[in-house]
Amino acid sequence: MLTPLSGLSVTAQRLAVAQLAPNQTTPQMTLSMTAPTTTAISQHQQTVAGLMAGTGAAAGSGGQQGAIWGEILGGGALRANSADAAGYRASSAGLVLGADWYADDQVMAGLAFSWLNSAAVGQGVSANSLTRAGSYQLTAYGVWRPDIADQRLSVAGQVSFGYNHYDQRRWIDFLGARANANYGGEQYLGKVTVGYDLPLTATFTLTPQYSLRAVRLTNHGYQEHDAGVADLAVDSLVTSNITQELGATMATQFNTGLGALMPELRVDWVHDYLNGPVATTGVLAGVAFASTTAQVSADGVAIGVGATLRQGDSVSLRLEYSGEYRRDYQTHAGILRATWAF
């Protein structure tokens, strides 16, 4: 391996050394994999909280005991190349299925299962490297709308466990080789969101919100194959993050020929508290090594635009877009949800 490396130009040697390091795309991708499903469930909780406050047919009242809902979601992410990390372009698609149960008009509890399939292609020094990931997540969630202050206060919570499977390919240009690996990992998540409705008019409501999300992810160690002496033995990796969102949602409602239409706009400031570089360790050709990958910028803006169409008291459809914008990084996602209340 050293013989072909020594014959390269200085620029090519730098590229070669970077490509001998572990795949940079996977650690970056792992940290963002929980976001699409968690955001989708949070959006569902917000819709339920509005119903519990009396928007449309109040949930938990009039004999309503629960609801079954399902949604398809898809999205993408783009990170630009920088001196601290190679960029990547990712796409994802999946399903979420959930069931709600109303103890009364103040308390809702639910359980959701989600599957998300993602793929990320490396950019810059990681060009031609690829990571595919399948994520399976079980989430318990709830909404509490206490009967104080005219039920303006809402508290929503989530706790989830997930399993991730990775199919990873690392391209080594100067050797014309590709190192492959397959391995798994787990994820643990908790999130709490607090909101308070401020009616502006009879049909417009402004809801300031604050949420805090904690995530812990474990990627198992793995042994690469198919690249000969360039194969890496990589140790297990544990990453954690705490993220806050502070913002507000503006919602309204009006009747149409198809039913009650409830559009809304959400804007949040997003901040990560644990934003240090992700360190990866392992062995290459019998020699121990350590490499780091910078995370995305700690601060950003999250935007959500959506609308729910309710037909009677039992059936509703929702279409929503959500995006997050940080320096050299952006994500976009869309969902289509159907709900049947009973």
pLDDT reported for residue 91: 96
Predicted structure pTM score: 0.90
**Residue 143: closest CA among 37, 246, 66:** 66
Q: Which two tokens stand for residue 197?
A: 């409705």
pLDDT beyond 70 at 58: no
CA distances from 296 to 3, 130, 185, 317, 338 (A): 36, 19, 21, 34, 33
Mean pLDDT of all residues in 199-203: 91
Phi first, then psi: what are they for 260, rounded to 5°? Answer: -80, 125
Asked if residues 204 and 252 have their Cβ atoms less than 8 Å apart, the reply is: yes
Confidence of residue 57 (pLDDT cuts 50, 70, 90): very low
- The answer to whether the CB of 168 falls within 8 A of the CB of 27 is no
Res. 143: pLDDT tops 60 = yes
Compute the C-alpha angle 204/250/212, nearest 5°.
140
Mean of pLDDT values over 29-44: 89
Cα radius of gyration rounded to whole Å, the chain: 23
User: Of 196, 280, 292, which is closest to residue 232 (Cα–Cα)?
Assistant: 280
Strands (E), 103-203: 107-122, 130-144, 153-172, 177-196, 198-199
DSSP string of 26-70, one letter each residue: HHHHHHHTTHHHHHHHHHHHHHHHHHHTTSSSPTT-TT--EEEEE
Residue (of 246, 323, 237) closest to 279 by Cα position: 237
Looking at residue 3, its pLDDT comes to: 63
pLDDT at 59 (0 to 100): 53
Domain residue limits at 196: 5-55+63-341
Amino acid at 237: L
Q: What is the DSSP letter of 23?
A: P
Amino acid at site 172: I
* DSSP letter (8 states) at residue 86: -
Q: Are 171 and 128 in contact (CB under 8 A)?
A: yes
Alpha helices in the chain (DSSP H): 2-6, 10-20, 25-32, 35-52
Residue 243 confidence (pLDDT) above 60: yes
* Residue 249 CB partners (closer than 8 Å, separation 6+): 46, 195, 206, 207, 209, 264, 265, 266, 304
- pLDDT at position 157, please? 98
Residue 56: pLDDT band with limits 50, 70, 90: very low
Q: Give Cα separations from 85 to 24, 278, 297, 306 (angstroms).
A: 7, 10, 12, 34
- 10 three-state secondary structure: helix
The pLDDT score that the predictor gives to residue 63 is 54
- Return the amino acid letter for 128: N
Number of domains making up the chain? 1
Q: What is the pLDDT of residue 1?
A: 58
Residue 241 has pLDDT above 80, yes or no: yes
The secondary structure element, H or E, covering residue 257 is none
Count the helices and strands in the chain (H runs, E runs).
Answer: 4, 18
Judge whether residue 33 has pLDDT over 70: yes
CATH of the domain at 148: 2.40.128.130
| Residue 18 CB neighbour total at 10 angstroms | 15
